[in-house]
């Protein structure tokens, strides 16, 4: 058994959690408009008499609405007075917002998953941003001055392919890179596995099926090495019958706590 990545949350999730802890000291009640991260199991741990999901309640004095690390749409925000809104935006996404705001005079092509909360929020806030599929973009590259931007958990290899394609256009502007933590974890895992005998190996990626970076990590590694792999978020997800007798490698997405990863590893060791 071997860990091939760091375990636990990224800074974006930790920012959300720190914001929540700060609000607990100041607010009467905190309503989560949506999950702070793409892991309902971890979010459920945060709920209490003082913290709950918003279901249309009337906000009393000192109650606040907390929006997730991935952002929120204008339509969602406008439901509440500005003084009631608190944003727990991931620092990487916040930096992308600042860059997008600086370049409102040119079209920006955004790559990612159209149904992802991060992408929906960006498209809502910036009317000069145009969602774009990679294949359509590469088949007919635009000319002149424009920018390219990526969902923070967009596949790093696809992002690099797009960046290379536009590199000859000196007027093209790169707005942001993909999340460096996800990129580093995948790169480290690839490096760790390349010299291993994987003939009887199995990969367990800790994270939720709702997490884009967990899905990306599992697909990238299992496709690259043609190996068996599973997403594991809770004890009920452990495929104990399928991993028995196999050499196990553990990787962690950024949407699961280090404590939960270590608990799952302990359960596997004792099985």
Give 72-87 pLDDT, tens digit per residue: 999 999 999 999 999 9
pLDDT for 21-68, tens place per residue?
A: 999 999 999 999 999 999 999 999 999 999 999 999 999 999 999 999
Q: Label residue 177 by pLDDT band (50, 70, 90).
A: confident
Tokens 């480290």, residue? 188
CA distance 9 to 190: 20
Look at residue 70 and tell me whether its pLDDT is greater than 90: yes
pLDDT for 221-244, tens place per residue?
A: 999 999 999 999 999 999 999 999
How wide is the angle at C-alpha 99 spanned by C-alphas 8 and 20, nearest 5°?
40
DSSP tag of 56: S
pLDDT of residue 271: 85
Task: Give every strand in the sheet of 51-53, ordered side by side.
Answer: 51-53, 29-32, 63-67, 85-87
């Amino acid at each position: 058994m071997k860990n091939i990545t760091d375990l636990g949350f990224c800074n974006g999730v930790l920012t959300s959690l720190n914001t929540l802890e700060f609000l607990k000291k100041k607010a009467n009640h905190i309503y989560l408009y949506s999950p702070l991260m793409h892991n309902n199991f971890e979010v459920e741990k945060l709920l209490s008499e003082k913290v709950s999901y918003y279901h249309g309640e009337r906000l009393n004095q000192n109650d606040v609405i907390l929006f997730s690390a991935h952002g929120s749409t204008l339509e969602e925000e406008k439901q509440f007075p500005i003084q009631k809104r608190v944003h727990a935006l991931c620092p990487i996404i916040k930096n992308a917002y600042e860059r997008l705001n600086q370049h409102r005079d040119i079209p920006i092509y955004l790559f990612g998953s159209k149904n992802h909360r991060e992408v929906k929020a960006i498209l809502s806030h910036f009317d000069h941003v145009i969602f774009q599929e990679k294949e359509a973009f590469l088949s007919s590259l635009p000319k002149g001055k424009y920018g390219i931007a990526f969902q923070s958990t967009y596949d790093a290899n696809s992002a690099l392919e797009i960046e290379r394609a536009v590199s000859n256009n000196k007027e093209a502007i790169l707005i942001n890179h993909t999340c460096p933590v996800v990129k580093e974890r995948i790169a480290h895992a690839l490096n760790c596995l390349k010299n291993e005998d994987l003939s009887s190996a199995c990969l367990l990626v800790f994270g939720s099926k709702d997490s884009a970076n967990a899905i990306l990590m599992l697909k990238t590694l299992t496709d690259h090495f043609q190996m068996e792999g599973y997403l594991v978020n809770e004890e009920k997800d452990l495929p104990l019958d399928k991993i028995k007798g196999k050499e196990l490698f553990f990787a962690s997405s950024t949407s699961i706590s280090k404590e939960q990863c270590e608990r799952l590893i302990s359960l596997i060791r004792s099985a």
